[in-house]
Structure formats: structure tokens, C-alpha cells
Amino acid sequence: MGAPRIVRVDPVRPEKDRLAVAVDVLRGGGIVAFPTETVYGLGAPVTRVDALIKIFRVKGRPPDNPLIVHIATWDQLHEVAVVDSDTIERLGEVWPGPVTVVLRRRRVPDVVTAGRDTVAVRMPGHPAALALIELLGEPIAAPSANKAGKPSPTAAQHVVEDLDGDVDLVVDGGETFFGVESTIVDLTGETPTLLRPGPLTVEELERVFGPVKVPDFARGLSEPDAALAPGMKYRHYAPEKPLVIVASDMAAMASALAERGLTPCMYWVGPEEPPHLDKTRVIVLGGDPYEVARNLYNGLRMLDKEDCDIGLFPAIEEKGIGLAIMNRVRKASRGSSVPI
């Protein structure tokens, strides 16, 4: 297939006439990649089962990995989920924004929820995503717009690299704001449970929802129970080359690898300039954790493009958005080891 059609929109004041082109594609049964404040999504109207099946097919996504329902209005929330007034009030404090909640499901096709009795819902904060859903007039179900297992797309170009002509239209709103996927919190149990860390931190969640359980798998330390966090069990965000997390001296590790004839790619995090090391390439991610999150997936994609053999990633502090970064990096590095 040829290259997908691309329409550019202003990420802050998206042009309605351009989004109307995307709405036409969606109404015609097509699938559309669009920017959100987290990563690019690949969406179809929540009721268009044929188009939703196509999303699974082009991504190579296992059918037991459910999608997130993206909404623009509170009425749409009531259509897809069972929700009490107390929860709505709390959600009003975090939406629109980068947090997805798991609730009891109402009227949603099985393909969206992977047949579960719960549904994941989010009101995204990106003006183009909100305007697209509003213009369409119904929720858009969407996973991230990448091939299953690969780093999520944080720019329209990444979507084109991964999915090429398999996507009918890409709404290009420039780079996404946060660069990692939404926080997911399950509200169906007694205590809210973090399923995936993201831009909205545990600290911020707890201010709104009270104490939140943070299981080991949410840190990327273990495999989740598939019943609780479907989809999280899959290898994710992973470059082709090995990637290892280095808790000790990065420069020493890079030199040891170079001495053995390997070229490491060293990820650099922090406000200082990276050191100049022999036979080592440097991928600069940024000085503060939000900048690192924004550059993370492009950085993981660069590992496969750079002329190097292995990626070295520094262990960073797991607080705030750092929890989300380390969760992604642990999953991306699963199965990799240092070949010395």
C-alpha cells in the first residue's frame, strides 16, 4: 500500500475543516491516527466493529489486549461505563488529562473490551483529540498507533514508519506533550489500583482518589496477572537491539564494552553535558524527567538507527513521572543482557 494521507493541524487550535476530513474517513469505516497529549492513538468510532478489527490486524495486536475508549463529554462516559456521582466529581479533577480509568462496562462492543466486563476510559487533554471526538459525535476507541511490541509513536513520522499505508489517515499535530502513555488506574475494586504508571503521578492520583495500590508489575518488576492488567504481560516498547539498565557507573560500563570491540549507545539523562568517550555513541534524553519522558520513545527508536550494538540506560529515580519511565524501560529491556 502507498503512504497514508496526512493532514496537519495546529495542536493548540486545531482547524475544524481539517479535522472534518478525518471525521469523513472515520464515518466511512477507515482508521485514523491522531495526536493525544500522551502518544499518538490509532482510532475508530467505538461502535464500528469492522474498523476496530482492522486496528488489531494492522498493529498485530493480540485480541485479548483491550482498547481505551476516548471520550469528549460526560454524557459519553455514561454511555460506555457505570459510574457514580462521587467518581464523576473526582474524575472532574483529572480530566481532560493523561489518566485512564477502568470502570464497569455499559454498552461497548466486545472487541473493545476484549470481552471483559470492565472498560478503560479517558477524556484526553489534547485539543485535536477532543475536537476530533466532538466533531465525530461519539467516542473513539484507540490503542497507541505503533506495531504491537514497539515503542509508542510520539510524532506523526513514527506512525508512518510503523504502519505506513495500513492507516487510512494521520492527523499530524506535531510532537506529543508527555511522550509516555496515560496512567491507568482500576477503580472497580475496593482500593484504586495502579495498572500502568504514566504522566499523572501516583502522588497526584492519591490527592484525588485517596490511597492507591501500586503492585510490583506497575513498576515493571514482575509480570501482571492477565485478569487484572490485560496487555501489560506482552513485551513492549522494545527496540531490536539489546538494552540494559545500568545502576552503576555508566562511563565505566561503556568503556568496558568498547574494549571488547562493541559500540555502546549510552543514554544521557541530566542537566550536565555528556562526557566524550571513545567508541561510544550518546543519545541525549534531557535534563529533567518530563523532558526524558518526552524524548524516551524517539530515543529507543534511535537505538536501532544508530551505528551501535547495545543501549545502556541509566537507572533513574522512581518518583513522579520517573516511575512511568522506569516501567517502560524495564519492559523494553526484558530479555536483554550485557554480552561480556
Which residues of the shown chain bind ligand AMP in the complex (CB under 6 A)? 65-66, 68, 102, 113, 116, 118-120, 143-144, 181, 184, 195, 229-232
160's contact among Mg ion, ligand AMP, none, with CB below 5 to 8 A by partner kind, is none
198's contact among ligand AMP, Mg ion, none, with CB below 5 to 8 A by partner kind, is none
Quote the least distance from Cβ 112 to ligand AMP, whole Å.
8
Quote the least distance from Cβ 181 to Mg ion, whole Å.
6
What are the beta bridge partners of residue 8?
Answer: 172
Q: Is 144 in the site for Mg ion (CB under 5 A)?
A: yes
Q: Among residues 110 and 249, whose Cβ is nearest to ligand AMP?
A: 110
> Quick count: other Cβ atoms within 10 Å of Cβ 124?
29
List, in order, residues 6 or more apart from 79 with CB less than 8 Å away: 106, 107, 139
Q: Among residues 76 and 113, whose Cβ is nearest to ligand AMP?
A: 113
Q: Among residues 45 and 143, whose Cβ is nearest to ligand AMP?
A: 143
80's contact among Mg ion, ligand AMP, none, with CB below 5 to 8 A by partner kind, is none
Q: Among residues 104 and 260, whose Cβ is nearest to ligand AMP?
A: 104
Residue nearest to ligand AMP (CB): 231
Quote the least distance from Cβ 312 to ligand AMP, whole Å.
26
Q: Among residues 143 and 198, whose Cβ is nearest to Mg ion?
A: 143
Q: Among residues 268 and 294, whose Cβ is nearest to ligand AMP?
A: 294
Quote the least distance from Cβ 108 to ligand AMP, whole Å.
9
Quote the least distance from Cβ 222 to Mg ion, whole Å.
20
Quote the least distance from Cβ 161 to Mg ion, whole Å.
15
Catalog residues that contact Mg ion under the rule CB under 5 A.
143-144
